Structure 1
Amino acid sequence: MSRPRVVVAGLGDSGLLTAIHLARADVDVVGISSKPGLVSGQELGMRLARPEAWARDYRVGFDRFRRLDGAELVHAELTRLDPATRTVTVDDGRATRAIDYDVLVVATGVSNGFWRRPALQTEAEVTATLAQAHEQIAGAATLLVVGGGAAAVASAYQCATRWPALRVTLAFPGERALPQHHPRTWAHVRRRLLAAGVELRPGHRAVVPEGFDCDRITAGPVAWSSGPEPLPADAVLWAIGRVRPNTGWLSADLLDDQGFVRVGPDLRIAGLQDAFAVGDVAATDPLRSSARNRADKLVAANVRAHLAGRPLGEFRPARRRWGSVLGVEDDGLRVFTPAGRPFRFPAWTVGAVLQPWIVRRGIYRGIRDLPR
């Protein structure tokens, strides 16, 4: 008797972890990715300021993940789902083909700026994208970061500390940035930003003309709907949260009004018994927090329970965002709790303990070193 086939559609942060957990089960795992390896959407600031350091931990070839050794990996774009025949159609740039499944996990994530795009890319294209953004900022005298989320805040901080001569301004629409985090988090982060020389501009909501491309680094000036004078800048980083779910390959009846995948508390896709969704693409709660609360473990467990006819567990979303905000700093890595209290991993532990033991061995269950 053949083993059940589980297709994981999307191998970003959430999809990859789901596939790794499922690799322990008595199933055949097929992972589909438009990228040739993990190109994480995490730590944008470090990616811009220190791309080589970022790539060591956040750009990892799929062949280095030990738990994926038995999985089938497909480098292609998803173009269609047919629930009736239980198949997904993919396009690898040369041909299309259908892949059948017994259970489907949708983890295709979202598009958000130039750093999170669903397009099919080669290794060389990924490398060029990373280098281009870094070089644009490295060659600027002034940088304006527009947005108040973690990506904007971390980018302003990392660029200010990487290039002390660079004049960095962070402009955000509310009285404070990080509105989805606990106020204590912003109070602490604000002090770190000011100490790094970042100029803060609260109450600045950018005017974004219709059809304007925010998915690239542009040049100023930037105008504001709230009234202040336009701000000039050599480089403008748009991190304004224009998140778009990567669900163009799914039918509208599976999506909510914003295009995210409708799911129940057990992360099963509404209307489908043999399909689940996890990560930023899943409409679990207003924060879509299954991407950041280890729901990859839950969805993998629910897939196994579904195949065995057992009851499924339920996802409990967090009320606030939490975790790392600024990324790795000179004195270590600060992780903020949901209550806004920071816990600092000392600098020496990041490379000696956190990444090799907690992340690579503990979370990813083993990552092979690059050949010397």
Structure 2
Amino acid sequence: MTGKRVIIAGLGDTGVLTAIHLSGHADVVGISVKPALVSGQELGMRLSRPDAWARDYWISFDRFRGLDRVRTIQAALSGVDLADRAVFARHADGSVEIEHYDALVIATGVTNGFWRRPDLQSADQIGAELQAAHDRLAAARSVVVVGGGAAAVSSAANIATVWPNKWIGLYYPGERPLADHHPRVWRRVRRRLSDAGVVLRPGHRAAIPNGFGYERITSEPVAWRSGQAPTSADAVLWAIGQVRPNTDWLPPELLDDEGFVRVTPQLRVPDHHGVFAVGDVAATDRLRSSARNRADRLVAHNVRAEFAGRSLRSYRAPNRRWGSVLGVQADGLEVFAPSGLRFRFPAWSIDRVLQPWIVRRGIYHGIRRPRTDEVG
């Protein structure tokens, strides 16, 4: 594979790991709108405890030992020439850089609320945005969280835990949130929400006007399509799961009807050798689950296999979502399997075992300590 160039389009959670796995086997170039990994994980912790969140989920690229051989470019992808095997990246000053590739891995993720957006940002802008959302919730006496997924549930639980004197309501459309998780998960999480004082409001489906910008925390009353009277609160957090794939830079022929990248079971884009997609942007299954099931290793293997003329491996998606729901709490971290069974990392193990050994060394292959002038 000497001399082969791989472009990783997007350096979020999945893109960074894919780049690390390929860095010793090809000339890897990563293109990102951020100067760091700014994870889309653990929204509740991000909003309620931003300093703790930033320590583990906002990490500058130069701290990753596994990225030492990866050239990173901060720019927004603006197009691709599939015939010439080149991508176009637009810098903040408007200039456009052209990068050629032998293999392209599309990992540009999705836009979701105010916490996952494909905007070019500096570290100062990321920090200001992080603090502003926290301050907005800190000043509110009452908070309505709208949504039934893990982001909404985690936000309600963490806000209630950090600010126990606030009124927190979780409004969701079905009989229970976490519909894509095993029912055991909700039974456990419901007890945690009740203990934290979160008021549960099932059967509430929000009426969302056309063009409504839920990419912000609002204060206007929430109207319900399900017939209930409007609900008011000092702050309304929208976590309704209306994700949009970051694929405006790609030709329509690569996309499904919803704008996600079509892939084969091998995570390769059909009819385009050397082009792969992984993570939330890839239309692998109903849950688009390759972002959460270590498909970064599989796609890295398949890129190398295609270069070498070997057979490619297939991705097998789980039937249910799994993992942490509430994030790290005072008593530790609960992680749920697809079967709904849980296992717990006790509180003492988070900073002594989980983060330093399992995450930073095991998963990311080493992360340097931040400089004294660095936040993330």
TM over 0.5: yes
Q: TM-score range by the shorter chain?
A: over 0.9
Contact 2:24–2:69 under 8 Å retained in 1: no
Task: Return the alpha-carbon distance in structure 2 between the equivalents of residues 194 and 227 of structure 1.
Answer: 25
Which residue of 2 is the match for residue 32 of structure 1?
31
Moved over 4 A (4+): none
Q: Does 1:64 align with 2:67?
A: no
Task: Return the alpha-carbon distance in structure 1 between the equivalents of residues 77 and 340 of structure 2.
Answer: 38
User: Any residues of structure 2 matched to 1:153-172 within 5 Å, and which?
Assistant: 153-172=153-172
Instruction: Please state how far the C-alpha of 1:371 moved relative to its aligned partner.
Output: 3.2
Task: Return the alpha-carbon distance in structure 2 between the equivalents of residues 20 and 2 of structure 1.
Answer: 17
Instruction: Please state how far the C-alpha of 1:231 moved relative to its aligned partner.
Output: 1.0
Task: Return the alpha-carbon distance in structure 2 between the equivalents of residues 305 and 276 of structure 1.
Answer: 12
Task: Return the alpha-carbon distance in structure 2 between the equivalents of residues 160 and 185 of structure 1.
Answer: 19
Contact 2:148–2:240 under 8 Å retained in 1: yes
Instruction: Please state how far the C-alpha of 1:93 moved relative to its aligned partner.
Output: 1.6
Output the amino acid matched with 1:262. R
Instruction: Please state how far the C-alpha of 1:24 moved relative to its aligned partner.
Output: 2.5
Task: Return the alpha-carbon distance in structure 2 between the equivalents of residues 278 and 371 of structure 1.
Answer: 32
Which residue of 2 is the match for residue 181 of structure 1?
181
Contact 1:267–1:314 under 8 Å retained in 2: yes
Q: Secondary structure at the match of 1:329?
A: coil
Q: Secondary structure at the match of 1:326?
A: coil
Instruction: Please state how far the C-alpha of 1:270 moved relative to its aligned partner.
Output: 1.6
Contact 1:8–1:31 under 8 Å retained in 2: yes
User: Any residues of structure 2 matched to 1:113-192 within 5 Å, and which?
Assistant: 113-192=113-192
Task: Return the alpha-carbon distance in structure 2 between the equivalents of residues 320 and 266 of structure 1.
Answer: 20
Q: Secondary structure at the match of 2:69?
A: coil
1:102-121 Cα deviation digits (max 9, x unpaired) = 00000000000000000111
How much identity, in percent, do the aligned residues show?
62
Output the amino acid matched with 1:316. R
Output the amino acid matched with 1:326. L
- Which is worse superposed, 340-349 or 40-49? 340-349
Q: Does 1:73 align with 2:68?
A: no
Residue ranges of structure 2 left out of the alignment (5+ in a row): none
1:102-158 Cα deviation digits (max 9, x unpaired) = 000000000000000001111111111101110100000000000000000000000
Which residue of 2 is the match for residue 331 of structure 1?
331
Output the amino acid matched with 1:248. D
Instruction: Please state how far the C-alpha of 1:2 moved relative to its aligned partner.
Output: 5.7
Task: Return the alpha-carbon distance in structure 2 between the equivalents of residues 211 and 317 of structure 1.
Answer: 33
Which residue of 2 is the match for residue 253 of structure 1?
253
Instruction: Please state how far the C-alpha of 1:223 moved relative to its aligned partner.
Output: 1.1
- Which is worse superposed, 46-55 or 335-344? 335-344
Task: Return the alpha-carbon distance in structure 2 between the equivalents of residues 28 and 271 of structure 1.
Answer: 24
Task: Return the alpha-carbon distance in structure 2 between the equivalents of residues 284 and 316 of structure 1.
Answer: 9
Which residue of 1 is the match for residue 53 of structure 2?
54
Output the amino acid matched with 1:203. G
Which residue of 1 is the match for residue 296 of structure 2?
296
Task: Return the alpha-carbon distance in structure 2 between the equivalents of residues 207 and 341 of structure 1.
Answer: 35
Output the amino acid matched with 1:66. R
Which residue of 2 is the match for residue 367 of structure 1?
367
Q: Secondary structure at the match of 2:343?
A: strand
Contact 2:143–2:168 under 8 Å retained in 1: yes
Which residue of 1 is the match for residue 83 of structure 2?
84
Which residue of 2 is the match for residue 310 of structure 1?
310
Instruction: Please state how far the C-alpha of 1:341 moved relative to its aligned partner.
Output: 1.4
Contact 1:278–1:290 under 8 Å retained in 2: yes
What do you get for the CA RMSD once the two structures are aligned? 0.9
Which residue of 1 is the match for residue 219 of structure 2?
219
Which residue of 2 is the match for residue 207 of structure 1?
207
Task: Return the alpha-carbon distance in structure 1 between the equivalents of residues 341 and 147 of structure 2.
Answer: 23
Contact 1:254–1:271 under 8 Å retained in 2: no
TM-score (norm 2): 0.98
Task: Return the alpha-carbon distance in structure 2 between the equivalents of residues 159 and 348 of structure 1.
Answer: 22
Output the amino acid matched with 2:174. G
Residue ranges of structure 1 left out of the alignment (5+ in a row): none
